[in-house]
Structure 1
Amino acid sequence: MDASVAPDVISRPVPPRLAHLVSSISFYRERGVGLTAFRHAAPLALPLLVNLGTPFRIALGRQPDSADAQPSFVAGLFPGPVQIESDGRATCVQIDFTPLGAYRFYGGAVPDLTARMVDLGDVLGRDGRSLSEMVAEAGGWQRRFEIVEDFVLRRAVHEPSPAIAAALNMLWRSAGTARIGEIAIDIGWSRKHLARRFQNEIGVAPKTLAQMLRFHRACSLARSNGADGWAAIAVDAGYADQAHLTRDFRVFSGETPTAWASRLEGTDPRLTREAGG
């Protein structure tokens, strides 16, 4: 991408007061050149995006078209590729929630966001519409960041179940390799009860999140140790074999591992998220 038309991408360090809620805060502004067939593979963050320019066109698991224009919106977890296009005039402020942070912010609405993008006003009502207006009217990006951060902190009043927080932590620390049955035993629940409660608070079943985490682990290993080959990456990421890894890549990225790697070689590094591409 020509540096003269590269988008402005500003990542704001997450302040300590929001560290238990969000994984990243950013501002993005295009200067004439948009995104074409850009994708995120099974993102682990749940975005809240305040649109200030032309809406992105975003679709889950397929190529977007004009009907997929997304203004200010929120979204849940999606175990598949998210494809994004823009016309070169997109501008936004985005907060990426962690799974537990999303529950603290949205409460019981989290499952309703899974595999969906929903208008900010439809989820948060008048407050959501007011947020968009305040951010648009604010002078300077520093002030816009502060408005969004204050808004998030005020509304993050829901406490996740300690057992679900513990189960999520076990999955996360193991990069998806911890056995769901053993996690259930450890927290004193049946596997069925854990699956139901986990989906109610995180938005996907624990098995699905474990698969997403293993996929992201494989992506990270490929970035740092690609020379080792996909068979070695599959073993290190906890897959039964390379064929298993390939199946998950098709599900979560819509590509084979080699096609995924080839695509990322041509991606602007400022637009490549740390996990999953």
Structure 2
Amino acid sequence: MLIFVWSTNDHYVIFHLHIPSSPLCHFIESFIYYKGFQPTHSLDRFLPDGKVNIVIDLADAPQFIYDNDTLEEIQACRYVWFSGIRNNCITIPSGRDSEMFIINFHKGKAYPFVQMPLHELTDTVVDGNLVLTNEILHLREQLLALPAVPQKFAYVEKYLKRHFGSRLEPNRCIDFAVSRILQLPDQLTIEEISRKVGYSHKHFIQLFRENVGLTPKAFLKVIRFQKAIREIEALQKVSWSRVALESGYYDQAHFINDFKNFSGFTPTQYLAMKNGQLNYIPVA
């Protein structure tokens, strides 16, 4: 378990990260608990990253989703919510005054936990009980009752194994396709993957969309965009043509177009606004 506790402006920020044991670790990247975060800004633009997560809010006040353009409140979220894979950016609270427990799934690996096609949840945030039954609200109640963070992590592991243990079987076709896209987003075509998994192109696309939430082509575009984001973070002096080439784009024009579609900003605007937190851009 990774633990950070630091003091800023006379208050403490607590951040715990825990990687669950097998077999959960093959599907879940991490559990995160944080409390006391006090950023100077109030809203973040969150960029598509290929992930799905469950957010358990341990505070009582609702959190809101905001219109990307007007920044007006458009949706209230309370207690537990399921955030589907994204093909578009979303504007959310910056985390100020929050106490959160977050279950982060590996990219393309949420399918054992959701009893509906994942494309029905794409670009949506829905109440957790609509996806995971009312039991998820009981889980929140237990987390509130447990005083220590390691106890919270242990309880969630036990809960997930008890409720989903029989479903934790890999989908080898989907896992192979997702793995190849993650490894070589700048080199692959969907036709190549489809041939290797042994399904017809049409059936492969349908299977991938139901289990991941996006078509293979759309998922590949998100992962290429993410590769570009990491390139930008790593470079001290950014060459947009280099970023475009190394991220797998045909040319700089395609790169700029995709970047603006995913983030709402041009690459130059993003560079000026970013604050060191990958995929989060302060907007208000």
TM-score (norm 1): 0.87
C-alpha RMSD of matched pairs (Å): 2.5
SS of equivalent to 2:134: helix
* Residue 262 (1) aligns with residue 272 (2): yes
With over 3 angstroms needed to count, the CA separation of the structure-2 counterparts of 1:226 and 1:207, relative to structure 1, is farther
Answer 1 or 2: which has greater strand percent: 2
Give matches, 1:154-173, under 5 Å. Answer: 154=162, 155-156=164-165, 157-173=167-183
* Residue 95 (1) aligns with residue 89 (2): no
Answer 1 or 2: which has greater helix percent: 1
* Residue 145 (1) aligns with residue 153 (2): yes
Give matches, 1:185-204, under 5 Å. Answer: 185-204=195-214
Work out whether residues 100 and 202 of structure 1, in 8 Å CA contact, stay in contact via their aligned partners in 2. yes
SS of equivalent to 2:133: helix
Aligned counterparts of 2:194 and 2:32: Cα–Cα separation in 1: 36
Aligned counterparts of 2:187 and 2:64: Cα–Cα separation in 1: 34
Matched residue, 1:16: 21
Matched residue, 1:128: 136
* Residue 223 (1) aligns with residue 233 (2): yes
Give matches, 1:105-116, under 5 Å. Answer: 105-116=113-124
Give matches, 1:73-88, under 5 Å. Answer: 73-85=81-93, 88=96
With over 3 angstroms needed to count, the CA separation of the structure-2 counterparts of 1:28 and 1:143, relative to structure 1, is same
* Residue 56 (1) aligns with residue 71 (2): no
Q: CA deviation at 1:141?
A: 1.7
Q: Structure 1 stretch 156-165 or stretch 204-213: which is displaced more? A: 156-165
Corresponding letter in the other structure for 2:97? R
Matched residue, 2:3: none
Matched residue, 1:36: 42
Matched residue, 1:205: 215
Q: CA deviation at 1:9?
A: 4.6
Match of 1:69 among 69, 76, 79: 76
With over 3 angstroms needed to count, the CA separation of the structure-2 counterparts of 1:13 and 1:141, relative to structure 1, is closer
Work out whether residues 18 and 153 of structure 2, in 8 Å CA contact, stay in contact via their aligned partners in 1. no
Corresponding letter in the other structure for 1:95? I
Residue-by-residue CA offset, 1:55-95 (whole Å, 9 max, x unaligned): 32224755554442212101110112121126843211111
List structure 1 runs of 4+ shifted beyond 4 angstroms: 31-35, 59-64
With over 3 angstroms needed to count, the CA separation of the structure-2 counterparts of 1:260 and 1:86, relative to structure 1, is closer
SS of equivalent to 2:114: helix
Structure with the bigger RCO (C-alpha within 8 Å, sep 6+) is: 2
